[in-house]
Amino acid sequence: MALTESTMVPLGTACPDFTLPGVDGRLWSLHDFHCPALLVTVMCNHCPYVQAVDDRLNTLARIYTGRCAVVAINPNDAETYPDDSFEAMRVRAQTKGYVFPYLWDEEQTVARALGAACTPDFFLYDGHRRLTYRGRLDDNWKDAAHVTRQDLRVALERVLAGEGPVKVQHPSMGCSIKWKVGA
């Protein structure tokens, strides 16, 4: 499994509009999220990098309920990676108790519009839905007990305080997105 880093999309980029099905049975769009901040996480089920941090993401979503909307999007090709199918997403969301919408980007258009490259890939938008942070969750994806810097949380606090983006942003790293052949 090749390690891939996020592409570091330019700050200030607008969040792309989307309408995607969620594992909860409803269609979700960008306009459904009304919090002062929006965290879009590109993730999947099978990636060990996602599996190592998804509990931390769920905790972050709980902590910031009402202040930051969190949404996860899975763009992986389910034919090649059946562990990332929509049905498998439903099972994982239920098993893990996700408190955020988990959406399926079957056509992979939203992931491309975001500039996503890996899973997990984190995109934090301010109240105007302009990108203020793209990068890693924290400084130790392998072991939550050894985290010394919570990069995403620092960026989120700055957004909520009305401050500008953090100066140094480290790329996220993980599995490459499993693009459909010919897409």
CATH assignment at residue 154? 3.40.30.10
Q: Does residue 127 sit within a domain?
A: yes
User: For the segment 8-42, what is each residue's pLDDT rounded down to a tens digit?
Assistant: 899 999 999 999 999 999 999 999 999 999 999 99
- Per-residue pLDDT, 4: 86
Work out the widest C-alpha separation in the chain, in whole angstroms. 43
Structure tokens belonging to residue 164 = 């500008």
- Per-residue pLDDT, 183: 56
Q: Does residue 13 sit within a domain?
A: no
Name the domain count of the chain. 1
Q: Does residue 67 sit within a domain?
A: yes
Q: Does residue 133 sit within a domain?
A: yes
Residue range of the domain that includes 169: 19-176
Q: Does residue 9 sit within a domain?
A: no
User: For the segment 173-182, what is each residue's pLDDT rounded down to a tens digit?
Assistant: 999 999 998 6
Residue 64 predicted with pLDDT over 80: yes
What's the rounded Cα separation, in Å, for the pair 86 and 179?
A: 16
Q: Which residue has the tokens 């099972």?
A: 91
- Per-residue pLDDT, 69: 98
The chain-wide mean pLDDT, for the chain, equals 95
Q: Does residue 6 sit within a domain?
A: no
Structure letter (DSSP) for residue 73: E
Q: Does residue 48 sit within a domain?
A: yes
Q: Does residue 183 sit within a domain?
A: no
Residue 2 predicted with pLDDT over 70: no
Cα dihedral 70→15→49→135 (10° resolution): -110
Helix (H) or strand (E) holding 161: none
